[in-house]
Structure 1
Amino acid sequence: MVTASDPWQGHDVTALFTVLLTGTAVLVGLTAYLCSRLTRQARRRSTAATVWRDVSLAAVAAGLALYLWGLLHLLFLGDQEQAHVCERERPPGTPALVGRRGDFLPLRLVCEASDGRDYSVVVPGYINPTLTVLLLLALVAAAASGLLHHKQHTPTRKKG
């Protein structure tokens, strides 16, 4: 049994499966919605606010797909394989390994050395930086959509 104080714990398998299943369902729903926005009828009714909203949702969908891709890298490695990867990818001059931990945010598997240093393995290095960029894009697009929507539905006052 793995306890919270176990220095060799990776990602909790139950949490990993839960996030994978839930994330996949959300991604399918987002993709279906975004595809529905490509119909001729939907495009005719588009406003600047709805386009920015859809850009935001597309960035969220891309980020979610990328996050799920990173989770799949972790899913297919058991504890023994994770230990081998930690050992194989240990930087030169790094002393003995004393632990391993799995983080969901940022997504990573961290190998911990006896000198206090640690390093990430398994999850491709491009995932977390790309997720950051996609999150920022989603936030900016959502803010633009909100401002345009507010501007569109706010009555203008006539002078005089």
Structure 2
Amino acid sequence: MVLRKLAGAAGLAAFALYLWGLLHLVGALLEAEDGGTDSAPLRPCRTAGRQYDKKVLSVTDYSVDYVPLRFVCETADGGSYVADTVPGYVNPAVGGLALAALGCRVAALVVAEPPGPRLG
């Protein structure tokens, strides 16, 4: 019973943390699609202290990955780099919590009492 509750808690925490990262990613998408003044280079592709870097200035497009969560800036020369829009702790923590939830669930199944009549 305790292992099942731990599995549920870890799964819920992984889901909540994934949503937190997804919120950051959606914010970056909204910024990237917002045209007008100060829209080039793409705002999510700018990094602190490097917003006028050659690589940042050559950004032509972007793509989004949902597993792991990341905003990828694509450059004119065919290269790409991952922007720091999603906090760095989100993907490893989601993976760790998901594995912990799976491990607890498997352990709960292994140590579970087999169904059947009880004596006494």
Contact 2:42 2:59 in 1 (8 A): no
AA aligned to 1:84 is R
When residues 72 and 117 of structure 1 are mapped into structure 2, their CA distance, relative to the original with a 3 A threshold, is closer
The residue that corresponds to 1:74 in the other structure is 25
% identical equivalent positions: 36
| Aligned: 1:53 with 2:4 | yes
AA aligned to 2:114 is H
Higher share of residues assigned helix: 1
Unmatched runs of 5 consecutive residues or more in structure 2: none
SS in 1 for 2:97: helix
Q: Which gives a bigger RCO, structure 1 or 2 (Cα 8 Å, sep 6+)?
A: 2
Given the two structures, how large is their TM-score scaled by the length of structure 1? 0.56
Q: State how 1:84-95 maps to structure 2 within 5 Å.
A: 84-86=43-45, 88-89=46-47, 92=53, 94=55
Q: Offset of 1:115 from its aligned partner?
A: 4.5
Unmatched runs of 5 consecutive residues or more in structure 1: 1-49, 156-160
**Number of aligned pairs?**
103
Higher share of residues assigned strand: 2
Given the two structures, how large is their TM-score scaled by the length of structure 2? 0.73
Q: Offset of 1:122 from its aligned partner?
A: 1.1
